[in-house]
Structure 1
Amino acid sequence: MMTCPAIRQIAMFGIAISVLAITTSALAQAPAGSNWDYLKALPAQTKIHVSADKGGGTCKLLSVDDATLICGKHTFQRADVKSVKLTRYGVSTAVGAGIGAGIGVGVGIGLAGGKDSFFGDDKGKFAAAGAGIGAVLGGLITGPADLFRGPTVYRMP
């Protein structure tokens, strides 16, 4: 059975991982600006997220010239591209899992209740189960959505 300090350690670990991943992501931001050459320097097949006036989305970079960006089945005119960011599905999954684990610990403790509750005094078991379920759900939600996208490679001036 987990003690109260162990539960706190699990919650603090989830929070620390989330803060570390977000801080690392912020520090790794590429210099954003009007330099289209940053896009030209990216290797082909790099997964990027394009935000443009006429649509956008996540796709693999095929080519970039002075006037266009070709990504997957889409061709974007330079004047229409608002920003381009690298994708980070792994980081998004890890941060979501950390946040989910922290929330899951709280929900698990809340469901366990006090000594006189229906479940007895099993807060540690419920906290651990909540952390596991929360981590899986958090990772499944944030990972595919790429909620914590990578550095901005280009931003319209």
Structure 2
Amino acid sequence: MSVRLEPGTPAPAFTAPTATGEEFSLADAAGKKVILYFYPAAGTPGCTTQACDFRDSLASLQGAGYTVIGVSPDSADKLASFADKEHLTFPLVADPDKTIATAYGAYGEKNNYGRTVMGIIRSTFVLDEDHTITHALYNVKATGHVARLRRDLGLDG
């Protein structure tokens, strides 16, 4: 069973390549609130829905002081193609060896069509300005997740 992070836990630090080919470090967002979400594969229907929901809510999330960062096991090249196709302007971080996902408990056993498999557990973490976890959401649904997250953060209305 993988580690499950709880609110109040310091967010694990990481540095990894992004879709733009640059390195992103969580430390780059020091002093900023962060929404860090993990998804299984760029370009798949659920992951595209979720990414586009974040894209469509990005202005209001940024207006509330949040930086959105997506993490998947895809290569930086695949992420670049995904970002270009879907007009995604927030950082997409490549985690092909799943070390970031593992540190956050977003990689492990999951049910996939009735079978237990190892894979990315669709998860979202909200970090405060000190990068302490305020929300740790595991096994989220792609559809409707951003709307629910906005409600949980008091951003609707």
TM-score (normalised: structure 1):
0.20
Q: Which has the higher helix share?
A: 1
Q: Which has the higher strand share?
A: 2
TM-score (normalised: structure 2):
0.20
